[in-house]
A and B are shown apart, each in its own frame.
Chain A
Amino acid sequence: MSFPIDLLINAIIAGLLLGGFYAAVTSGISIAFGILDIVNIAHPAFIILGSYIAYIVNSQFGLDPILTSIAILPAFYALGAVVYQVYYVSFERRGQEALRGLAFFFGLLFITEVVLILVFGVDYRYVNAIYIGPTLHFGFVDLPLRMLIPCLVSLLLILLLQIYLTRTFTGRAIMAVAQDQEALRLMAVNPIRIKRTAFAISIATTSLAGAFLIVIQPVEPSVGRDYIGRVFAICVMGGMGSLPGTVIAAMLLGIVESITATFYGPSWAPAVSFGFLLLTLAFRPAGILGR
């Protein structure tokens, strides 16, 4: 039996598309955990929340999920600002972020999941949009639109974020707050306000990521847990807070997962990200683009 080369190429391309989506899912964590050092393990819960909002609007009014998520970005931004304020007042200011901060986010993750189960049940929900059915064919290569569109929008989002972080004053202040808060204070910038802005942006990205998720696969409340390992694996591999590193790591994980799913069956895919994470932590904690 010859090696199924076309199967492999298709798996790699599917992996790249999946990786583009993972990059969107992780970009928020790269900002919150990578830059601000806030271990927001509730990040996937916000993503699922985004998915359900896209689902409600789509099923009630028939609006496009991705456009909906762009429209509700400000709401998620505000939510992020509120969560940061609570986190800052209760934990960061008291220097208790290690144990209690983690427990706080874990509680948020859990509450979101249970509330969604109470309201919507554990049924899988999905959305309708014109790009969910069709697939582009180039020879033996398949490009399903429901993967391609999220991937492209996601890369656009990360490009905009990268320009924001490196070209604008606030963006540069966000990068600086990780390195030296005092220096920022000397520049007459309030580091807490900058961190709040950055965390709010990080939560705002989950609105889009949630819409992508429900476009790619049906969603139920506990799906988010599968993404905890993934997002942190990608964030650490990508070098903690580097967006280009995040994209590369996301693509890499996407390809490995896709190949695993193609050749060993999809039920093994969740274990891949964990293996990735452990190997990265054990051998290359600074990430692939690490300094």
Chain B
Amino acid sequence: MRSWLFTLILAVAGAALFALSRFIQNDYFFFAGYVVLQYIVLSTAWNILGGYCGYVNFGTAALFAIGAYTTVALHKLLVTSRIYPMSMPELIVIGGAVSAVVGLGIGYLTLRLRGAFFSIATLALAVVIQTIITNWDYVGGSRGAYVIRPPSAPLVGSYIQYLFLVMLVLAVISVAVARLIERSRLGYGFATIRDDEIAAEASGVPTLRLKLIATTLSGALMGMAGAPLPYYVGYLDPASGFNLAYAVNSIAMPVIGGTTTWIGPLIGAVLLGTLQQWVTVTISSAVSLLIVGLLLVGFVIVAPNGLVGLVRPLFVRGKG
């Protein structure tokens, strides 16, 4: 399928989903749906670097929170003081840009070394960015910050529906980008890095440049996913913004769905995201996190290619 056609179908499917959900009177649907859509963006973003290039990023929470805290800072600087009331798309673009720069920086420092060092550096990045935010009083420090949601939203009226729509658009964009990459020269370059980086380097693939492109793209999408968060929660403190759940989910969802295609993270995010919403409501959030951890460990041991890897042999049996 051509990429533009795929993107069009995806956009139509998104529009249809939103149109249908407008019939649901319950606001909770939009709150829960927002979280699932947010995980689609995060796990797709993670997969661009982790699944396509084979570089494990543990710093999703940091890049996500950078987007969220950029919004908090801009909200305080501009919106509250009425200098220039920024709209949501502008906040998302800026939040994405800041996270992209941070991603590029950490990639530039560590991607020239073996893969493990990059992973360790991203793990440490989360701790340090959290330390900086906790000590930064302007955005609330350790006390957290309140962000007052506007009473109504453009286009759709209800603000939570507007946030849902924004995240839906982001999810469509990120899945379309992921599929575009997968089928392009860039994607083949990424795959050579994942399969044998030394051979790729020897064959003239500009591995460092490709890895930096992947890190920047992935970071940008994570930041964009984080930017609307303060308006969604209304109150943001470092412990919730940097919650380890974001890092675990963004790894577990692609791994459970399957890391080599765009559909893996999508399936993983929808299934695991919905499951978590359900368990959080019926049992507790700690148990839902435990389930994610157990599924992650179980899948990497038993089904290393995820659900896609389990299902694919049923369809392509003939090609063997």
Contacts and interface: CB of A to CB of B under 8 A. Distances in A.
Contact of A228 (B50, B124, B142): B124
A229 B116 contact: no
Contact of B297 (A41, A107, A267): A107
Interface in A100-140: 100, 102-104, 106-108, 110-111, 113-115, 117-118
A91 B58 CA distance: 19
Interface residues of A, number: 44
Interface SS, A side: helix
Given A86-B301, A96-B304, A226-B127, A107 B290 contact: no
B296 A229 contact: no
Contact of A103 (B121, B289, B300): B300
A247 to B, nearest CB: 20
A3 to B, nearest CB: 24
Interface SS, B side: helix
B297 A98 contact: no
Contacts of A206: none
Contacts of A108: 297
Contacts of B292: 110
A270 interface: yes
Interface residues of B, number: 43
Given A103-B56, A267-B134, A114 B119 contact: no
A229 B290 contact: no
Given A225-B127, A277-B120, A102 B56 contact: yes
Contact of B296 (A107, A225, A277, A282): A107
A39 to B, nearest CB: 5
A192 interface: no
B293 interface: yes
A107 B290 CA distance: 9
Interface of B: 50, 54, 56, 58, 109-110, 113, 115-117, 119-121, 123-125, 127-128, 130-132, 134-135, 142, 244, 247-248, 251-252, 255, 259, 286-287, 289-290, 292-294, 296-297, 300-301, 304
